[in-house]
Copies of this chain bind each other. A is one copy, B any other.
Amino acid sequence: MEIIVQKFGGTSVGSVERIKRMAQHVIREKQKGKEVAVVVSAMGDTTDHLTKLAGEITAHPPKREMDLLLSTGEQITIALLTLSIQEAGFKAVSLTGRQAGIRTDGVHGKARIKGIDPSRVREELHRGIIPVVAGFQGSTDAGEITTLGRGGSDTTATALAAALGAERCDIYTDVDGIYTTDPRVVPAATRIPHLTYREVLCLADSGAAVIHPRAVFHSKKSRIPFRILPGLIKGEGTLVDDHIHINDRGPVGVAFKDEVASISMKDAAYGLESLLKESLEVIHVKPDLHWKGQDLTLTVDASDRSDVEHLLRDLGQEYSKKMEQAKVTIVKSPGSDILRFGVRSTLGDSGIDVSSIHEDPEKVTALIGSEDIYRAADVLHTFAGLDVSGAKRVVR
């Protein structure tokens, strides 16, 4: 029988009432004759509440203890969703990350899934029982509880879908799909019915919060399609797979990311780039790296800045840093010919200072001041021809 993995998160499991509604999504798929495995995240405010409690004790809680603390959030939701499915007359069982065989490395706070042993989940499915798995969490081989960091539950869902050889992974959220940009910032943004893994990965890497790059990584590798669907309303959402449609050419969307820091090294030594990439990979920091002549610039999340500085000091490498940065990115199909010059002049015409700009076949990225981020997204969305529904995704 075909397996569907469903994932519920965010505000869609924000209350007992909503958890009961999510149970209906599970049952509907089950009644279609599918085997359903479910992944859930913590109820809306649980994580904030627990973080606040820890904050009353210490300003710098060690990540191991925070993982053990925060992992209770999903454990509560899986129990409540399981009870809801059972109450509706279907068999279900809740499984912690460890019980579901989610094995991770030991990087607390942003662990990576090393592998999934799906035997328990499979066994429950074969017995006609719906496994409800805690997202966002896993366990090291030594039995330590880890969390996967931001977007972790989506990653659990797509990785589990891969491990089970599922037909599809449906990710229910509080938005009705992936948009050309954040519609709260640019009201002219429109929902994109279909994207490729590569395009979503580029949007996510560039700051679009709709799904975490690690989650896309597992789908892309296993070539299992996923959908971003609204949990609380009806809607088609966005389908993501590796199928390239004939009319999928041109700009795809505009992503932006606040709280970015750029760190620059003058006359950088040969080999520094790969050394930095490797060293940062170990601590799961993923920088944008750009050369300008002999100068190398790293752009990282502000939260990763101190880790990067620490590393550079260890290497005896001098650097200068720029805080309060933001980046705005137009993600495009490879055939599209959006040029950095057009981006620079569009931003310049709007009086937005651009500190640097980079282009590659997949995107054009501009580094700007944080205060200009929303305005930049707005003008670039127009520039990329994404504003009007009819003009969407056509080469300009």
Q: Give the distance to chain B from A27, nearest Cβ to Cβ, in Å.
A: 14
In the bound assembly, the distance between CA atoms of A68 and B92 in angstroms comes to 13
* Per-residue contact bits, chain A 68-111, to B (CB 8 Å; 1 contact, 0 not): 11011001101110111011000001101011000000000000
Q: Counting CB contacts under 8 A, is A143 at the interface?
A: yes
CB proximity to B under 8 Å, residues A47-80: 50, 53-54, 56-58, 61-62, 64-66, 68-69, 71-72, 75-76, 78-80
Q: Give the distance to chain B from A394, nearest Cβ to Cβ, in Å.
A: 49
Instruction: Given A16-B57, A20-B57, A58-B86, decide whether A68 and B80 contact each other with a Cβ distance below 8 A.
Output: no
Instruction: Given A20-B57, A86-B62, decide whether A75 and B80 contact each other with a Cβ distance below 8 A.
Output: no
Q: Counting CB contacts under 8 A, is A145 at the interface?
A: yes
B143 contacts A99, C-beta separation under 8 Å: yes
A68 contacts B94, C-beta separation under 8 Å: yes
**Tally of this chain's copies:** 2
B69 contacts A80, C-beta separation under 8 Å: yes
A65 contacts B50, C-beta separation under 8 Å: no
B61 contacts A83, C-beta separation under 8 Å: yes
Among B19, B54, B93, point to the contact of A80 (Cβ < 8 A): B54
Q: Which residue of B lies closest to A46 (CB)?
A: B72
Q: Residues of A within 8 Å of B, CB-based: how many?
A: 36
Among B65, B72, B94, point to the contact of A65 (Cβ < 8 A): B94
Q: Which residues in B have their C-beta under 8 angstroms from that of A65?
A: 79, 82-83, 86, 94
Q: Which residues in B have their C-beta under 8 angstroms from that of A80?
A: 53-54, 57, 69
In the bound assembly, the distance between CA atoms of A368 and B72 in angstroms comes to 44
Q: Give the distance to chain B from A124, nearest Cβ to Cβ, in Å.
A: 12
Q: Give the distance to chain B from A47, nearest Cβ to Cβ, in Å.
A: 12
* Per-residue contact bits, chain A 284-307, to B (CB 8 Å; 1 contact, 0 not): 000000000000000000000000
Q: Which residues in B have their C-beta under 8 angstroms from that of A94?
A: 65, 68
A66 contacts B53, C-beta separation under 8 Å: no
In the bound assembly, the distance between CA atoms of A69 and B71 in angstroms comes to 12
Q: Give the distance to chain B from A90, nearest Cβ to Cβ, in Å.
A: 13
B72 contacts A58, C-beta separation under 8 Å: no
Instruction: Given A16-B53, A54-B80, A57-B80, decide whether A98 and B68 contact each other with a Cβ distance below 8 A.
Output: no
Q: Give the distance to chain B from A359, nearest Cβ to Cβ, in Å.
A: 46
B58 contacts A69, C-beta separation under 8 Å: no
Instruction: Given A20-B57, A53-B16, decide whether A78 and B83 contact each other with a Cβ distance below 8 A.
Output: no
Among B50, B56, B79, B99, point to the contact of A76 (Cβ < 8 A): B50
Q: Which residues in B have their C-beta under 8 angstroms from that of A64?
A: 93
Contacts A62-B86, A65-B82, A69-B80 supplied; 19 other A-B pairs, CB < 8 Å? A16-B56, A16-B57, A19-B57, A50-B76, A53-B76, A53-B80, A54-B79, A58-B83, A58-B87, A61-B83, A62-B83, A65-B83, A65-B86, A69-B75, A69-B76, A72-B75, A75-B75, A96-B145, A99-B144
Q: What 5 pairs between A and B have smallest CB-CB spacing?
A: A69-B79, A72-B72, A58-B87, A57-B83, A16-B56
